[in-house]
Structure 1
Amino acid sequence: MLIKPDWPVPSTVKSIYTTRQGGMSKAPFHSFNLATHVGDLLENVVANRQQLFDQACLPSEPIWLDQQHTDIAIQLDQSNLNAQVSHSLPPPIADASWTQNPGIVSVVMTADCLPILITNQAGTIVSAVHAGWKGLAKGIVRKTIQSFPTDIQQCPEQLIAWIGPAISMQHFEVGQDVYDTFIDQDSANSSYFHAKPRDETPSKPLPKKYLADLPGLVKKELNDLGVSHVYGGDLCSFALSEDFFSYRRSGQTGRMACLIWIEPTTRNG
């Protein structure tokens, strides 16, 4: 099943996100898994990707990334598309991509991490970002925007962002190391962590655990970067088990996709 994000973007900017429903994959990847790296049968993933292409009326094959929780954002153009279609090169290692080319589809896959779509009010650039806590801490959101052309970087108030289904604060437990990482970067980040009560005694101290608000951290970072038009962030991949894959909930599981592109003015054929 395909869903359109609810955000005020130009009519030429198209975006969708997928759910876990309606595909060919069997348990534990049931059923619309789009990832080739999780242990699913390749033929099922290929069939699901073809179904995505057909149902979404995509202008070209999405340019899939080899996501490794990096801080790498790449620009996409026709050469990336040619390499993917011909299988002449492996998927690029990156966790974000952007393009100004109509008909080039930027995509990220997630199963609890944050999928973030970005465009501008003129509809001249589109970007998809994958941000788990590691990528977020490394600055993937900031570095993606900083990789945009200078004229777009200099007008962050013109950017529009949407945050897709991700794990919510209620279900995302992290340790002291994650808390320290974000607090060392900005003490104001402490408001996005809630310490969990622990049943401990003086003779049996327990390591601290926190509930972390990843969507809140991303919204704050976008706002700090000058991006005030931020939407979404209210769908929990962990809680909505019928709709979304969740690595934290299930371990071995599939991946959803968030896609964005600039619609070509004309299409071949």
Structure 2
Amino acid sequence: MPAEPEAVLLPDAIRPGWPAPPAITALMSTRVGGVSVSPFDSLNLRPPALGGEGVDAADAVLENQRRFAQALGAQPVWLNQVHGADVLRLTPDHLAPGAPLLRADASICTTPGIACTVLVADCLPVLFCSADGRAVGAAHAGWRGLAGGVLDHTVAALCAAAGCAPDKLLAWLGPCIGPDAFEVGADVLQAFGADPQTLAPADAALFRFSPRPDGSTRWRADLPGLARRRLAALGLTQVHGGHWCTVAHGSRFFSFRRQPRTGRLAAAIAIRGAG
């Protein structure tokens, strides 16, 4: 009879500091605690099935995913994220062996033991739960998805599933590219309805003017701030987190902007199973 896999703790993983009900388990990985080698060292969680050049060794990723699931206490469902706004409602069918990775940038769930999960390496992960612990959700919110309504769609789907209003949801913002590192052009401002020529005070607080030495015009965008503003407009009053920069802390977080060939972090949330 084969030996059981060794139990591995992830002491550097982030547990959201929010007043979620006891029925909820949530976890955000760092790059620490896995078995992958450089440049994916060490807890790379990006599924090999997503393909691409220079992917990590499949057996290493599977072991990393096992460790993450064990630390979370639920089974993650991985998505094929495309910087869109589609939301998937998870069921036990999504845990079937060989189930395909479905295209979506957010998921919700009301079934215990199944974890809504998103992968990031600079984009903003947002975890949700209803105040009564009946439903959970996770969204992958890069600037394209955020401007395209991924948080709007996730909140609407979660409220429908939980039978509650938005002010009965809790949200937690995980590590992402910070406002000192996120340099953007006028197209990003325009995607959020801001006029680069005459920034309103509310927009100027989220897009800091940052001219380049060559004379070109750029801005420093506050991605967590943009998410907080959107969530407030949707009616959420309990929003936590959003204080870590993936670019600035290379030993702890993967960052695509810092190093394009790199691993992926995961943020996941689930209703605890009976066991």
Q: TM-score, normalised by structure 2?
A: 0.87
Tell me: CA distance 1:100–1:151, structure 2 relative to 1, closer, same or farther (3 Å). closer
Which residues in structure 2 correspond to 1:20-99 (within 5 Å)? 20-35=31-46, 36=48, 37=50, 39-56=55-72, 58-59=73-74, 61-82=75-96, 86-87=97-98, 89-99=99-109
Counterpart AA for 2:76:
P
* Residue in 1 that maps onto 2:121: 111
Deviation at 1:197, TM superposition (A): 2.6
Aligned to 1:161, what secondary structure does the other structure show? strand
Aligned to 1:165, what secondary structure does the other structure show? coil
Aligned to 1:16, what secondary structure does the other structure show? strand
* Residue in 2 that maps onto 1:155: 165
Which residues in structure 2 correspond to 1:1-269 (within 5 Å)? 1=10, 2-35=13-46, 36=48, 37=50, 39-56=55-72, 58-59=73-74, 61-82=75-96, 86-87=97-98, 89-150=99-160, 152=162, 155-184=165-194, 188-199=202-213, 206-264=215-273, 266-267=274-275
Q: TM-score, normalised by structure 1?
A: 0.89
Asked whether the 8 Å contact 1:103–1:262 carries over to 2, the reply is: yes
Tell me: CA distance 1:196–1:76, structure 2 relative to 1, closer, same or farther (3 Å). same
Deviation at 1:151, TM superposition (A): 7.2
Aligned to 1:137, what secondary structure does the other structure show? helix
Structural RMSD (CA): 1.8
Deviation at 1:52, TM superposition (A): 1.7
Counterpart AA for 2:262:
T
Higher fraction of helix: 1
CA distance in 2, matches of 1:145, 1:92: 20
Counterpart AA for 1:230:
V
Deviations 1:84-108 (A, max 9, x none): xx20x42110000001111111110
Deviations 1:164-208 (A, max 9, x none): 0111000000111111211259964343101113335xxxxx432
Asked whether the 8 Å contact 1:189–1:217 carries over to 2, the reply is: no
CA distance in 1, matches of 2:113, 2:208: 43
CA distance in 1, matches of 2:154, 2:203: 20
Asked whether the 8 Å contact 2:176–2:244 carries over to 1, the reply is: yes
Tell me: CA distance 1:103–1:151, structure 2 relative to 1, closer, same or farther (3 Å). closer
* Residue in 1 that maps onto 2:5: none
How many matched pairs? 255
Asked whether the 8 Å contact 1:74–1:94 carries over to 2, the reply is: yes
* Residue in 2 that maps onto 1:203: none
CA distance in 2, matches of 1:223, 1:195: 24
Aligned to 2:77, what secondary structure does the other structure show? coil
Tell me: CA distance 1:4–1:226, structure 2 relative to 1, closer, same or farther (3 Å). same
Deviating beyond 6 angstroms after TM superposition, the runs of 4 or more aligned structure 1 residues are: none
CA distance in 1, matches of 2:265, 2:160: 32
Q: Which runs of 5+ in 2 are unaligned?
A: 1-9
Tell me: CA distance 1:150–1:50, structure 2 relative to 1, closer, same or farther (3 Å). closer
Asked whether the 8 Å contact 1:168–1:237 carries over to 2, the reply is: yes
CA distance in 2, matches of 1:23, 1:248: 22
Deviations 1:97-154 (A, max 9, x none): 0011111111101011000000111011100110101111111000111223537475
Asked whether the 8 Å contact 2:121–2:253 carries over to 1, the reply is: yes
Asked whether the 8 Å contact 1:64–1:107 carries over to 2, the reply is: yes
Q: Which runs of 5+ in 1 are unaligned?
A: 201-205
Asked whether the 8 Å contact 2:83–2:105 carries over to 1, the reply is: yes
CA distance in 2, matches of 1:145, 1:242: 33
Deviation at 1:240, TM superposition (A): 1.2
